[in-house]
Amino acid sequence: MKNHIIFFSGGKSSFTVAHLIKKRFPNDNILLYFTDTLYEDEDLYRFIYEASDKLELPMLYHSVGLTPPQLMAKERFLYNSRVGNCSKKLKMEPAAKFFKKGIKPNIEKWYNEKFLKAPIVPLSEGFSINTSVYFGIGWDEMHREGAIKKNWEPFDVQMPLIEEVIDNEEILELYNIRRPRLYDMGFAHNNCKGRCVKAGQGHYKNLLMKDEKTFQEVKEHEIVLSEYIRYTKQPQIKNGKCKDYLFEDVYKFLSEGIKSDKIKNIIENADYLASTRRLFGTDSKGKPINKAYSFIKIMTLNELEKKPIQCDIWDIGGCGCFVDYGNENELFNY
């Protein structure tokens, strides 16, 4: 009996792949595998659990236990449309460590384990030889194929939707399952409740128009993280000679939405900070710490909200999860 592991992102394409694999290998061991950033849309969870029920396939749930904003605060780095380590640290690494090394992340849950036909034991002899992994990559994302296959050696990596053009909506109708709501809102993917840090100007404009509450939340995250990172660039804090007096406030805000007086001051003075950039002095070279950090190119979300007409609506972007996480030594440097 062979193992078939489907990287189940909560998108339409990964559902179609799961349908195809079950149809082709009904007697084999098939597993839906979901890595959670804890930053997803509520409807994504409805979709993946309903999908597991209707496909009658087991689902393994893994999570590091951190959200992208929490990770950014810990690393003192604002992920953006150029660099998105949240995908690497919260999805790629836990998946690779489990399937290549048998190392479980902080959180593991099973759903519909009764449908599992044989135990998943990554460290068992011949596991990689007897296992195929699947990704919902279509012909329009063929540029991702090479990197993904290289990353997942020695597993047999399959992307059936590159060769077969299938209408995802028809497959959903076949199981009478409603597609994730982000697609209905005009988003190209179902990642991170429309808050993907690798998304572009057009994507965030759509978020502003379709879900202003979420836009305001992520805008405030960007403001606070940007100022916090500039604050930590000060030499005395960077070299550990001075205590970081902001981290606890920032982390509590990003985790629980609690706004201390410090956080309120940063948010309320966002325009002032953006126009003057004088709050945190100079760096080790004597230069002003005045760089504005932003998720998207050219502008902050605060600026986008004020001038939405001037943004590039064709700059959509999006997360290319599982594409390239560096070399093996870097990945398993723990």
Mean pLDDT of 287-312: 76
What local confidence, expressed as pLDDT, does residue 123 receive? 92
Given the structure tokens 């951190």, which residue do they identify? 66
Q: HSE of 106 in the Cβ direction (CA atoms, 13 Å)? A: 10
With cut-offs at 50, 70 and 90, classify the pLDDT of residue 331: very low
Amino acid 273: pLDDT: 67
R_g of the chain, CA atoms, integer Å: 21
pTM: 0.88
Beta strands in the chain (DSSP E): 3-7, 29-36, 59-63, 107-111, 131-134, 156-158
> Of the ranges 113-117, 148-152, 203-207, 272-276, which one carries the lowest mean pLDDT score?
272-276
Looking at residue 144, its pLDDT comes to 77
CATH superfamily of 3-65+86-180: HUPs (3.40.50.620)
Instruction: Kindly state the percentage of the chain with pLDDT values over 90.
Output: 67
Q: Give burial (CB, 10 Å; 0-12/13-18/19+) of 283.
A: middle
Domain boundaries, the chain: 3-65+86-180, 201-310
Mean pLDDT value across residues 300-308: 86
Instruction: Give 325's pLDDT tier (boundaries 50, 70, 90).
Output: very low
Q: Model confidence at 329, in pLDDT bands (50, 70, 90)?
A: very low
Q: Give the strand order in the sheet containing 59-63.
A: 107-111, 59-63, 29-36, 3-7, 131-134, 156-158
Check residue 68 and give its pLDDT. 96
- Judge whether 152 and 126 are in contact, CB under 8 Å: no
Determine the Cα–Cα distance for residues 51 and 48; give it in Å rounded to an integer. Answer: 5
pLDDT of residue 17 exceeding 90, the answer is yes
Task: Look at 85-99, 180-194, 319-333 and tell me which has the smallest mean pLDDT.
Answer: 319-333
Res. 276: pLDDT tops 60: no
Confidence bin at 313 (pLDDT 50/70/90): low
Q: Concatenated DSSP letters for 9-41?
A: -SSHHHHHHHHHHHHH-TTSEEEEEEEE-S---
Give the sign of the dihedral formed by CA 35, CA 159, CA 147, CA 198: negative
Pair 318, 197: CB distance under 8 Å:
no
Decide if pLDDT at 334 tops 90: no
Q: Check pLDDT > 90 for residue 277.
A: no
Span 261-272, average pLDDT: 90
- The residues near 182 (Cβ < 8 Å, ≥ 6 apart) are 41, 43, 44, 189, 190, 193, 194
Q: How much is the pLDDT for 143?
A: 78
pLDDT of residue 290: 64
Q: State the SS3 of 254-267.
A: HHHCCCCHHHHHHH
Residue 315: pLDDT band with limits 50, 70, 90: low
What is the per-residue pLDDT for 224?
96
DSSP 32: E
pLDDT of residue 332: 31
Instruction: Respond yes or no on whether the N-terminal peptide bond of residue 154 is cis (omega within 30° of 0).
Output: yes
Would you say residue 281 has pLDDT above 70? no
327 pLDDT above the threshold of 80: no
**Ranges 131-140, 166-175, 242-251, 321-330: which has the least confidence:** 321-330
pLDDT at 185: 95
E strand or H helix at 149: helix 145-151
Average pLDDT over residues 218-242: 92
Which of 155-164, 228-237, 282-291 comes out lowest in average pLDDT?
Answer: 282-291
Over residues 95-143, the pLDDT tens digits come to 999 999 999 999 999 999 999 999 999 999 899 999 999 999 887 777 7
Q: Is the peptide bond before 94 cis (omega within 30 degrees of 0)?
A: no
What is the per-residue pLDDT for 280? 52
